[in-house]
Each structure stands twice: as structure tokens, then as C-alpha cells.
Amino acid sequence: MKIFKIFLRSILPFLVVFTFSCAVITVNIYFPARDVEKAYENLEDQLMKPSPEKQAPKQEPGQKDKTDKDTGSFLNPGSWFVQTAYAGDDLAAKISRYIMKMPEVVNAYRRMGSRISKINRLRDKKLVGEANSGFLSPFVKLNRDQALLLEAENHDRSIVILGMAKAILKINHLEVNKKNLDKVYPQAAAQFAKLRRKKARPGWKIQLPNGSWVVKK
């Protein structure tokens, strides 16, 4: 019995260290910023041009879309696996293809394309600006129609950004759940906002990453 107690005292420090090390393990998510921006551009080029053959269904602000059910759960092999697996291939195209299989995101893009001329008028008049969150922010009190237009646009943008976050988790072979989405959504939103600043016309108001607002020149 005495020998057993001595043995326990000798291995206790190692058990504590092992338990603590297991508790603090975190999963790193590989986020290919340039490929994400390119994927956003690809999707806009493909989906935001109004098509006479197939129009996007109407959606009231706040109405929920059907969620993407293909959310397979896999073990995360690490970011090195993702980079190696897609070496020599177009990762942006792969991300785009994942998102093209999400009908709620495709429809959101099409709705955005159908209202872009109206949104441009709001931006031309500096009634709204491109916030660094990826959403449009009003600078004046909008009338009812303008407010509804803004709400619908931001709602669709949230669907697009969420779709990108899901795609990033898929290429990392991670489960699409709230915990993982919360980790990657801010990066997906920041990259979407960066593209909005890049595509903004001269004279539009844009918010820089540091929070300050400027007029695009």
C-alpha cells in the first residue's frame, strides 16, 4: 500500500499536465483570404446578372431560407492538409462550387442582382455607405421603401457571408455548427467588406477597417 501511494505521488504531476494540455487544445481553421475574395467575385459575376430564364424567388425581410443540409462532420486533419490537398488547383473555384450547391445563397445573390440599380442610387446619393461589417449602413432617416430595400439587401448579404463561412469549414473538413461558424464568420464578413470597398464607385461612402468613414476617390 505504501509503495502504491508513492507511485501515485510520482505520476500525479504528469497526470495533471496531461489533463491540462488536453483541455487547452484548439482547432486551427485555415482561412485562404485571397481565394475567398476571388470566390466572392466569381459568384457575383455568375449570379448577380439578372437572368430572364430564371428569376430569384421573392423573399420578405426576415424570412428564413432553407438551410444547407450537406454539413458532414469529419476529423480536422490540420490546415496543412487543406493547403496540400488543393496545391496546384484553384481553391477559389472549389469554394465557389461548394456555395453553388447552397440554394439559399444562390437565390440571395440573384435577389441582390435584381435590386442592384436601386441600391446604387442610395449609394450615389450617399444615403447609405459600405460598412466594414460587410453590410450597408444608413446615414439619414430613410423612407419606408428605402428602409425595406436596405433591410432586404443586408438580409441577403448575411446569407451570402454565412454560406462562405460554411464553405470554409467544409474545405477544412470541420463540422458546420454554431461554434465553428462563430470562429470563421467574422473573417468571411471582413473579406466581403473588403471586396465592397474595392468595388465601390468614386463618391460612395466606405468604412475602413479602423472604423473611420471616407468618400471613395
Report the distance separating Cα 25 and Cα 12, nearest Å: 21
Average pLDDT of 17-39? 70
Give the pLDDT score at 7: 46
Q: Which neighbouring-strand residues pair with 206? A: 130, 214
- Could you state, in order of their start, the residue ranges of all structural domains in the chain? 30-215
Give the pLDDT score at 129: 98
Specify the pTM.
0.73
The pLDDT tens digits for 81-92 are 344 444 435 999
- Dmax over CA atoms of the chain, in Å, equals 85
Q: Count other C-beta atoms under 10 Å from residue 127's C-beta.
A: 18
Angle between helices 116-124 and 103-114 in degrees, nearest 10: 60
Q: Which neighbouring-strand residues pair with 214? A: 206
- SS3 of 13-79: HHHHHHHHHHHCCCCCCCCCHHHHHHHHHHHHHHHCCCCCCCCCCCCCCCCCCCCCCCCCCCCCCCH
